[in-house]
Structure 1
Amino acid sequence: MSADSLAQRLRAALNKDDAVALLRAAIGRQSITGNEANFVGLLQKEMQARKVDNIKVADFLPGRPNIWGERKGAGGGRRLQFIGHTDTVHVDGWREHWAGTEREDPFGAPIIDGQIWGRGSGDLKAGICTSLAALSLLDRAGIRLKGDLAFAFVGDEESGQPGTGVSAGVKDYTARIEAGEIAKPDFVVYTEPTQLAVYSAQIGFFIADITITGKSAYFGVPELGKDALKASHAVMAALWKHSDEVSARAEHPLIGRGFLLITGLSGGGFIAVPEECKLSLIRKLLPGESLDDAAAEMEAVIRGAIADPEIKVDIAYPAGRDHAVGGSAAEIDPNLPEVAMLCGAVREAMAGKGEIQGAPFWSESPFFVNRLGVPAVYCAPGDIRNCHTFEEHVDIEEYLAGIVAFATFMARYCGVEE
């Protein structure tokens, strides 16, 4: 089948009403981190209706399920995995922000000026729905694949809710692949929002919470105290200098330079020498940088900035992901044939899309790229810049183009049984 005839056949077969209804229903299932089961219930019904086989639902933590399944091909093709996270960030302040407007309900999924609004619309229910609607599109077009399609929708990706956001869902899923319970894919598309660009690289990160403890003393006799706030000032100055040094080392062509950003400061005393001060920071890493080395280097900078041995420092890393202190950076060769194939499918579906870019965020592709050795990219409709905000929405035209693009890529990558 020629490229033109495949694209035409898919565009002609697309059921736009079904695709839009699917995304609106997905947004309507509140699934703030911890409540993934509410969305998984809908996904199970939709996957069954769209003839996904071997559907499994299993808790990665009590009451918090992953769901996965597959569509076996006729044989002789490769295995293509689509994966996305089911949880969203909170909606605190949403109703107040949009009070009295058609956007007031964060789960109402109103259609406004060609856009679907709501929490999770971009991050990343549009991506999940794009992959499922693409499978239905292949069926409507009468296209049967040689290779297998795998679908997995996992929880606990988002940070922000107490005791959550450590990628517990994808850890469970990839462990099942390692154990041989689930077949290992040949290529992975993680459906984070990219505006239909193809992200072949992503940043790494760690978050550090630093507690500096001195000794309180009455303001009239400050010489009896150990000023934690003053020590913190020295630490911050050293960290800003360290950030400049990190940034000067290298620049990645897709994700720029590494750096360290101090994100919070609290401390002080009541008419007294401050006894305790707390800092928070985030460090951006480039592919090839070691999380262990970066954390050790930062710790040496912090401790080296404090001259008084009686002032104590405690450093904690609250956001371990695929590594104890944070999330690893990842990249694959952007010149891989399957990357070019996906870019081409996107360009055919929507002019101006399908560019290779880098992810300015961290998500869960390193579990595949670094842990399993499987090439993975991010690609899906939606704009990361409006996600996690009161402005979260997805352009319907881009969403529908994404469905055609994914279906095209499924056919070309897995092969078509003539």
Structure 2
Amino acid sequence: MTVPNDLVARLTEALDRDAAIALFRGAIGRQSITGNEANFVAYLREKMSGLGLNNLETAEFLPGRPNIWGERKGAGDGPRLLFVGHTDTVHVDGWREHWAGTEREDPFAAPIIDGAVWGRGSGDLKAGISASLAALSLLDMASINLRGDVAFAFIGDEESGEPDTGVSAGIKDLVSRIEAGAIARPDFVVYVEPTRLSVYPAQIGFFIADITITGKSAYFGVPELGKDALRASHAVMSALWKHSDEIAARAEHKHVGRSFLLITGLAGGGYIAVPERCTLSLIRKLLPGESLDTAAAEIEAAVRSAVTDPEIKVEFAYPAGRDHALGGTAAEIDEGRAEVGLLSASMAEALSGRGVIEGAPFWSESPFFVNRLGVPAVYCAPGDIRNCHTYEERVEVEEYLAGVVGFAAFIARYCGVTA
């Protein structure tokens, strides 16, 4: 059966706005700061079960920290679509103090203020998870049956910031199950990071480097007996800033801009003495096609060339391994793919001015699909990354509801419909 031309209008008319908003607000109400994903997963299990999903399962990727996944089987002759999102959020330190005495004081109360739903995790990324599930419910309400399968997998440990967490343990477990055949392999993936309903077929890569410079301490009155680590760090930082300019000049990606590195921290010094140790941290942005190994080797070479005294030692550590031992790889799929166009058009019909094809100015977990599994993936969901992780985190109600309609239209168009 051909998808009807008035699909978006039919879906908009069938949408139960109150139910979709209640699903979203309830998701925010389940606090799930990294490490406490189980609290939100219990809510998702209830809601996913209510949708009649097949093969609904949970499994712990670490003790007490579960993933959840399930699917809606279609008629059997269409492609398989997977929606993925992370269940954990960043912390709420300072939120209550910042909003004390206002409607926003409770970061998990999900108040609707000036047409937006507020709260921790609203944009990053419970709007996306809720919109994807509400989209399937909307297709049911509109009596639209699918040929292909729609699957959902919601995983933990994406966010950084909590001790001993944030290494993508959840998606590593999920991808391993797909590789083993325990979970069916998708044909296309939508990762529901917030994009303001734009479609992101490309994203940056990154790594963090911690550099330790060790010299020799000496009493301030006889500095010639020491080796000044802070002085060496000055030369190192100058070399790194020069290197940043060089890599930025190499190329520009139409969606994610230019590469660079940013020195994010410096610590060192001693009390009335030549400083023996200094540490600095940096983050390196990579474009699709750039190698993390090569980029790290270039930084190490730049640093070592700046330290001319052989008695001053330099050590490197890379604490943020994700889909690569050093960090997270960049990813890109062809923006001319039919799926990208369908999703873009669906969002543009659902809300004027949306569905724009752009690039992700952040790193998230689509490279596990694009680079590791060879499965095309994009980011798309309601929410604005610019207010996520802040006291201003919120999602416009109309954008969220448009996301529900847009996802439903895309599911129907991509998976195909039956009579």
- Report the TM-score, using the length of structure 1 for normalisation: 0.99
The residue that corresponds to 1:62 in the other structure is 63
Aligned pairs (5 A) from 1:109-148: 109-148=110-149
Counterpart CA distance in 2 for 1:401 and 1:193 is 13
Counterpart CA distance in 1 for 2:119 and 2:342 is 32
The residue that corresponds to 2:103 in the other structure is 102
The residue that corresponds to 1:202 in the other structure is 203
- 2:415 is aligned with what amino acid? C
The residue that corresponds to 2:385 in the other structure is 384
1:358 counterpart SS class: strand
The residue that corresponds to 2:298 in the other structure is 297
Counterpart CA distance in 2 for 1:287 and 1:53 is 36
Using the TM superposition, give the Cα deviation of residue 53 of structure 1 relative to its aligned residue in structure 2, in angstroms: 1.5
Aligned pairs (5 A) from 1:190-269: 190-269=191-270
Counterpart CA distance in 2 for 1:116 and 1:3 is 32
Aligned pairs (5 A) from 1:11-30: 11-30=12-31
Counterpart CA distance in 2 for 1:28 and 1:2 is 36
Say whether residues 1:323 and 2:324 are aligned partners: yes
2:210 counterpart SS class: strand
Counterpart CA distance in 2 for 1:3 and 1:383 is 31
- 1:402 is aligned with what amino acid? G
Counterpart CA distance in 2 for 1:229 and 1:363 is 35
The residue that corresponds to 1:347 in the other structure is 348
The residue that corresponds to 1:277 in the other structure is 278
- 1:261 is aligned with what amino acid? L
Question: Given that residues 83 and 152 in structure 2 are in contact (C-alpha distance below 8 angstroms), is that contact kept between their aligned partners in structure 1?
Answer: yes
2:359 counterpart SS class: strand
Residue by residue, what CA displacement relative to the aligned partner does 1:168-201 show, whole Å, maximum 9, x if unpaired?
A: 0000000100001111000000000000000010
Using the TM superposition, give the Cα deviation of residue 7 of structure 1 relative to its aligned residue in structure 2, in angstroms: 1.3
- 1:31 is aligned with what amino acid? S
- 2:400 is aligned with what amino acid? Y
Using the TM superposition, give the Cα deviation of residue 3 of structure 1 relative to its aligned residue in structure 2, in angstroms: 4.7
Counterpart CA distance in 2 for 1:298 and 1:380 is 35
- 2:352 is aligned with what amino acid? A
Using the TM superposition, give the Cα deviation of residue 52 of structure 1 relative to its aligned residue in structure 2, in angstroms: 1.4
- 2:257 is aligned with what amino acid? G
The residue that corresponds to 2:313 in the other structure is 312
2:109 counterpart SS class: coil
RMSD: 0.7
- 1:301 is aligned with what amino acid? A
- 2:388 is aligned with what amino acid? C
Aligned pairs (5 A) from 1:21-100: 21-100=22-101
Residue by residue, what CA displacement relative to the aligned partner does 1:348-388 show, whole Å, maximum 9, x if unpaired?
A: 10000000000000000000000000000000000000000
Counterpart CA distance in 2 for 1:405 and 1:4 is 14
Question: Given that residues 3 and 416 in structure 2 are in contact (C-alpha distance below 8 angstroms), is that contact kept between their aligned partners in structure 1?
Answer: no
Question: Given that residues 132 and 407 in structure 2 are in contact (C-alpha distance below 8 angstroms), is that contact kept between their aligned partners in structure 1?
Answer: yes
Counterpart CA distance in 1 for 2:405 and 2:244 is 43
Using the TM superposition, give the Cα deviation of residue 6 of structure 1 relative to its aligned residue in structure 2, in angstroms: 1.2
- 1:347 is aligned with what amino acid? A
The residue that corresponds to 1:183 in the other structure is 184
Counterpart CA distance in 2 for 1:75 and 1:324 is 39
1:385 counterpart SS class: helix
The residue that corresponds to 2:407 in the other structure is 406
Q: 1:2 to 1:42 in 2, by over 3 A?
A: closer
Residue by residue, what CA displacement relative to the aligned partner does 1:104-125 show, whole Å, maximum 9, x if unpaired?
A: 0000100001100000000000
Counterpart CA distance in 1 for 2:23 and 2:3 is 30
1:21 counterpart SS class: helix
- 2:35 is aligned with what amino acid? G
Using the TM superposition, give the Cα deviation of residue 232 of structure 1 relative to its aligned residue in structure 2, in angstroms: 0.4
Question: Given that residues 196 and 354 in structure 2 are in contact (C-alpha distance below 8 angstroms), is that contact kept between their aligned partners in structure 1?
Answer: yes
The residue that corresponds to 2:396 in the other structure is 395
Counterpart CA distance in 1 for 2:64 and 2:341 is 40
Identity %: 75
Using the TM superposition, give the Cα deviation of residue 133 of structure 1 relative to its aligned residue in structure 2, in angstroms: 0.1
Say whether residues 1:370 and 2:384 are aligned partners: no
Question: Given that residues 67 and 155 in structure 2 are in contact (C-alpha distance below 8 angstroms), is that contact kept between their aligned partners in structure 1?
Answer: yes
Counterpart CA distance in 2 for 1:397 and 1:211 is 49
- 2:413 is aligned with what amino acid? R
Gaps (5+ residues) in structure 2? none
Using the TM superposition, give the Cα deviation of residue 37 of structure 1 relative to its aligned residue in structure 2, in angstroms: 0.4
Counterpart CA distance in 2 for 1:364 and 1:2 is 31
Question: Given that residues 3 and 413 in structure 2 are in contact (C-alpha distance below 8 angstroms), is that contact kept between their aligned partners in structure 1?
Answer: no
Gaps (5+ residues) in structure 1? none
Using the TM superposition, give the Cα deviation of residue 225 of structure 1 relative to its aligned residue in structure 2, in angstroms: 0.5
2:175 counterpart SS class: helix
Say whether residues 1:334 and 2:335 are aligned partners: yes
Question: Given that residues 248 and 259 in structure 2 are in contact (C-alpha distance below 8 angstroms), is that contact kept between their aligned partners in structure 1?
Answer: yes
1:4 counterpart SS class: coil
Q: 1:247 to 1:404 in 2, by over 3 A?
A: same
Counterpart CA distance in 2 for 1:285 and 1:160 is 22
Question: Given that residues 347 and 354 in structure 2 are in contact (C-alpha distance below 8 angstroms), is that contact kept between their aligned partners in structure 1?
Answer: yes
Mean CA deviation greater in 102-111 or 4-13: 4-13
Mean CA deviation greater in 359-368 or 301-310: 301-310
Residue by residue, what CA displacement relative to the aligned partner does 1:222-276 show, whole Å, maximum 9, x if unpaired?
A: 0010100000000000000000000000000000000010000010110110011
Using the TM superposition, give the Cα deviation of residue 4 of structure 1 relative to its aligned residue in structure 2, in angstroms: 3.4
Residue by residue, what CA displacement relative to the aligned partner does 1:5-39 show, whole Å, maximum 9, x if unpaired?
A: 21121111101001100111000001000000000
Counterpart CA distance in 1 for 2:61 and 2:55 is 18
Q: 1:395 to 1:212 in 2, by over 3 A?
A: same
Counterpart CA distance in 2 for 1:167 and 1:40 is 17
Counterpart CA distance in 1 for 2:19 and 2:277 is 57
Counterpart CA distance in 1 for 2:9 and 2:326 is 48
- 1:383 is aligned with what amino acid? D
- 2:232 is aligned with what amino acid? A
Using the TM superposition, give the Cα deviation of residue 2 of structure 1 relative to its aligned residue in structure 2, in angstroms: 5.3
Using the TM superposition, give the Cα deviation of residue 219 of structure 1 relative to its aligned residue in structure 2, in angstroms: 0.5
